[in-house]
């Protein structure tokens, strides 16, 4: 599928870590873009092809105004209350993550948007044996409010695709890392890149040193979403995003070898509610998708 030049791509959560990366790719491609978020952008400068819109996805009336304003050729839905905040306020998280998504799906159906790409999560799978390599064929069994909301949206999106012709595609994404996340609860995701060239610094990895975590660089996750937005009709409705499985101790060793002045500590948490090993071959094979390794990206950040 190709987005018609006159039709805009709507990105929700456009001011978030992943949303900014997706917007950057589409802006580089010259795609007309509606960058929607509940908060205003830090800078009001944007390409002429981009329209920044402040709107809460739970406000269906305001959302409908956006859909009336310009033809929309595709949606990348990333707006969500993330896991840590969802644990603190599950009612608000459910309202945003489910009701907001339902609003978008209904408007996409009504306005005949051809494709809806959903930024889902590997937390949909819930806890798995540490040695199990999880594929899309594995049963979804989320263990928290965030994962349960993602599964609900996937199920409703799939039902709408069957009944209305809307192409709904879900990308299940792991822990997104890279510079510039601006996170107050998971600062390590950016610090492992940003502090590699520093004269001193501390990185607190929250997980126990023996734990495995699935990581994807923000640029690769963004490229994967854009790939799904513009590809010919995909063969599947659900894909695992390509991720790398890292033992926390190995990540600590890598960071300290690249910058001996960096102090890296591990915590006592486990990656509960998430798989440790992943099969993303469905996505990689169908779209001939290659990633740049996390280790290579870390070396580049360190200037080596």
**pLDDT (tens digit, 9 = 90+) per residue, 108-117?**
999 999 999 9
pLDDT of residue 53: 94
- Span 176-214+243-274+288-302: which CATH code? 3.90.25
**pLDDT over threshold 50, residue 3:** no
Q: What angle do CA 101, 107, 113 make, to 5 degrees?
A: 105
Give CATH 3.40.50.720 domain extents, the chain: 8-174+218-240
pLDDT of residue 259: 97
**pLDDT (tens digit, 9 = 90+) per residue, 56-107?**
999 999 999 999 999 999 999 999 998 889 989 999 999 999 999 999 999 9
**pLDDT over threshold 70, residue 54:** yes
pLDDT of residue 47: 79
**pLDDT (tens digit, 9 = 90+) per residue, 111-136?**
999 999 999 999 999 999 999 999 99
Reference 134, options 277, 282, 285; nearest CA is 277
Averaged pLDDT, 1-7: 50
The answer to whether the predicted template modeling score (pTM) of the entire model surpasses 0.85 is: yes
Question: Which region among 89-98, 182-191, 286-295 has the lowest average model confidence (pLDDT)?
Answer: 182-191
pLDDT of residue 45: 64
pLDDT of residue 1: 38
**pLDDT over threshold 90, residue 185:** no
pLDDT band at residue 44, thresholds of 50, 70 and 90? low
Mean pLDDT of the chain: 94
**pLDDT (tens digit, 9 = 90+) per residue, 192-226?**
999 999 999 999 999 999 999 999 999 999 999 99
pLDDT band at residue 4, thresholds of 50, 70 and 90? very low
91 or 185, higher pLDDT? 91
pLDDT band at residue 5, thresholds of 50, 70 and 90? very low
**pLDDT (tens digit, 9 = 90+) per residue, 137-163?**
999 999 999 999 999 999 999 999 988
pLDDT of residue 52: 93
Domain 8-174+218-240 in CATH 3.40.50.720? The answer is yes
63 and 103 in contact (C-beta within 8 Å)? yes
265 strand-pairing partners: 204
Give CATH 3.90.25 domain extents, the chain: 176-214+243-274+288-302
pLDDT band at residue 34, thresholds of 50, 70 and 90? very high
**pLDDT over threshold 70, residue 171:** yes
């Amino acid at each position: 599928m190709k987005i018609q030049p006159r039709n805009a791509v709507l990105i929700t959560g456009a001011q978030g870590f992943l949303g900014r990366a997706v917007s950057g790719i589409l802006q580089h491609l010259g795609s007309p873009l509606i960058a929607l978020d509940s908060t205003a952008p830090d800078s009001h400068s944007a390409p002429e092809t981009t329209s920044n819109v402040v709107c809460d996805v739970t406000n269906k009336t305001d959302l409908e105004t956006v859909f009336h304003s310009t033809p929309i050729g595709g949606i990348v839905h990333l707006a969500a209350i993330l896991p840590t905040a969802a644990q603190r306020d599950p009612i608000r998280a459910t309202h945003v993550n489910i009701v907001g998504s339902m609003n978008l799906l209904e408007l996409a159906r009504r306005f005949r948007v051809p494709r809806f790409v959903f930024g889902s999560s590997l937390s949909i799978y819930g806890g798995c044996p540490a040695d199990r390599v999880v594929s899309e064929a594995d049963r979804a069994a989320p263990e928290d409010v965030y994962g349960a909301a993602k599964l609900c949206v996937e199920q409703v999106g799939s039902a709408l695709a069957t009944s209305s012709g809307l192409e709904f595609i879900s990308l299940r994404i792991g822990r997104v890392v890279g510079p510039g996340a601006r996170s107050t609860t998971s600062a390590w995701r950016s610090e492992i890149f940003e502090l590699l060239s520093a004269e001193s610094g501390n990185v607190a990895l929250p997980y126990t040193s023996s734990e495995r975590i699935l990581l994807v660089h923000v640029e690769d996750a963004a490229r994967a979403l854009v790939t799904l937005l513009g590809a010919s009709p995909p063969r599947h409705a659900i894909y695992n995003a390509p991720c790398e499985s890292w033992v926390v101790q190995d990540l600590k060793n890598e960071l300290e070898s690249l910058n001996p002045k960096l102090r890296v500590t591990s915590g006592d948490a486990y990656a509960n509610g998430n798989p440790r090993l992943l099969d993303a071959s469905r996505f990689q094979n169908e779209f001939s998708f290659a990633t740049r390794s996390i280790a290579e990206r870390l070396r580049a950040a360190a200037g080596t």
